Chain A
Amino acid sequence: MIKEIGIFIVAVILAPLIGGFLSGIDRKLTAFIQGRYGPPIWQPFYDVIKLLYKQRLLVNDFQVFSAYMYLLSAILSVGLFAIKGDLLMILFIMSLGLVFYIAGALSTKSPYSQVGAQRELMQMLAYEPMLIFFAIAVYNVTGSFNLAQIMTHGKLLLDLPLMFILLGLVLTIKLKKSPFDLSASEHAHQELVRGILTDYSGPYLALIHIADWYELVLILAMIAILWSQNLVIGALIALATFFVDIVIDNITARMTVKWMLAFSWSISILFTIVNIAYIYFRR
């Protein structure tokens, strides 16, 4: 029990450091691809610390609660992942935070924020089923939703190659990267101002950035357990996926909501069915 609490705390402390570092690499790499020099690698930490110490600008009280809920449920899901909880429960906790994040943005009366939130809802609709499909597919290989038991299967990647691609897709949608940067318009695109983040400002924006780091780490960890025999290799696979996502981010243009839904649903249903058929074929 004490050991588990220890792991929980260590994971909760380490995850944002890793996440921030990765998003620093993201910015540096994007700059490299665009032929720029780019910010220092620690830039995300400077940004978040600065935001934390800026003045609080509030639009309504619910927004504050939403930001905290989003952060805390992300923390809880990462912690539970670290102590090897139930995969499906972790996904549900993640979506609890997301509900508040979106409702908080919907509750302000700024049109940009509301449109962003509506689009985020669509993005959620695109990737939530994929994550549950992933859990179901994992169950069909390992016979369990418990991470401790899942991780006894060393080389899940060989059983679930298509679900691995789906997770890569989830990562792109979740991080709001092109071609799915619909809800918050990343980079210099500003037609929605900042979409769902428009009315979260100062410290609350910082909380959301930190929560995003946690979720980044969580999804990378889900990819990493596909090679749980040697977690170093698993982590390398996860990092490779992340880099591929950054490259895709830089070479694609944004698509519409409708295209995203049609694409992600058809791909996810098709891949899941083919992959599960493949599992039974391998046996």
Chain B
Amino acid sequence: MGLKEFVEKSFKKSPWVLHYNCSSCNGCDIEILACMTPLYDMERFGMVNVGNPKHADILVVTGTVNHKNKEVLKNIYDQMPEPKVVVAVGVCAATGGIFREAYNVLGGIDKVIPVDVYVPGCPAKPEAIIDGLYKAAEILKEKYEKMGKAEEVLK
């Protein structure tokens, strides 16, 4: 295994997760926390819950975007270093859910930032969330490969 392959493998093996509660009802958040418990233990896949976008690879968002918190979501996304992947957990994050028509709600988070993985459910099950995160880790690896090519172009 050469260095290049090892680096790519590292991206897949070590996705650090940042969880942002975008005015969610806390249903999905509890399920995300459940992923960290001994029963599900997402650290098996090297996933660590970090509190800081600057250290994160995967942004997990729950809840709908409204006018108040869209800037916060955007700022957090911007402060993550490339490559980065966004996972929308729950139906609110995906489409806006039952709050879709509320006067203050924009809709799903893809109105503000690009989303790579949608995990449906109200709330989403921990199994589904871990599956989504695993997919996100694979996307992370792909994005790294693309980023390498882009950098070569830049040089």
Contact = CB atoms under 8 A, between A and B. Distances in A.
Query: Is B truly associated with A?
Result: yes
B44 A198 contact: no
A202 B43 CA distance: 20
B59 to A, nearest CB: 14
B44 A37 contact: yes
A49 B10 contact: yes
B46 interface: yes
B14 interface: yes
Interface in B22-52: 36, 38, 41, 43-46, 48-52
A35 B44 CA distance: 12
B81 A50 contact: no
A6 interface: no
Contacts of B50: 190, 194
Given A35-B38, A37-B41, A57-B81, A198 B52 contact: yes
Interface residues of B, number: 29
A229 B57 CA distance: 47
B81 A56 contact: yes
B103 interface: no
B7 A49 contact: yes
B83 A39 contact: no
B82 interface: yes
A198 B7 CA distance: 24
A39 B55 CA distance: 18
Interface in A16-74: 27, 31, 34-40, 43, 45-47, 49-50, 53-57
Nearest to B4: A53
B43 A39 contact: yes
Interface in B53-92: 54-55, 57, 79, 81-83
Contact of A46 (B9, B51, B82, B144): B9
Interface string A118-156: 000000000000000000000000000000000000000
A35 B38 CA distance: 6
13 contacts: A36-B41, A39-B45, A46-B13, A47-B48, A49-B6, A49-B7, A50-B57, A53-B11, A54-B83, A188-B49, A190-B51, A201-B54, A201-B81
Q: Give the 10 A-B residue pairs with the shortest CB-CB distance, closest first.
A: A190-B51, A201-B54, A55-B81, A55-B82, A49-B10, A46-B14, A46-B13, A50-B10, A36-B41, A35-B38
Interface of B: 6-7, 9-11, 13-14, 16, 36, 38, 41, 43-46, 48-52, 54-55, 57, 79, 81-83, 144, 147
Interface of A: 27, 31, 34-40, 43, 45-47, 49-50, 53-57, 185, 188, 190, 193-194, 197-202, 205
